[in-house]
Amino acid sequence: MSLSPSRRRALRAGFLFVPLTVALLAAACVPQTILPADCDAPSVTRQATLVGERLSPEQTDICRGQGVQFEITVDAAGVLHLHGYDDEAPAQAVEAGQTVTLAFAATRAGQFHIEFHGATADMEIGILTVHER
């Protein structure tokens, strides 16, 4: 049994299509790490505002090796705390409406919880991601 030339072309296209599709799907499933645009800057400033129970923006991104000024404005009295950087940026007491600056060198990569210990509750209000470059 022999195939017509057009049938053979269709089969060949199919053989190319399948691995190409598999490769594209595999690439799409690999988590993409998007570094902040200012990853090469020696120091960066970030701002966030606590509204209710969450920071806006909730997620803050910086890169390992950067000097960071993280300015956080809160709408209630409490204590701001960046987990995992307790020594570099000690927890700070804040008043409602006040902005505090957590200043530290981002020496460790990872995800760090930002907590707010208020009068009535302890809340996880956001996440700081220190990217490995």
- For Cu ion, the binding residues (CB under 5 A) are 81, 115
Q: How far is CA 130 from the centre of its chain?
A: 7
Cis peptide before 57 (omega within 30 of 0): yes
Both tokens of 44, joined, read 């960066």
* 44 or 78: CB nearest Cu ion: 78
* 39 or 79: CB nearest Cu ion: 79
What is the C-alpha to C-alpha distance for residues 95 and 116, in angstroms, rounded to an integer? 12
In the complex, the smallest distance separating the C-beta of residue 17 from Cu ion, rounded to whole angstroms, is: 53
In the complex, the smallest distance separating the C-beta of residue 79 from Cu ion, rounded to whole angstroms, is: 8
In the complex, the smallest distance separating the C-beta of residue 104 from Cu ion, rounded to whole angstroms, is: 15
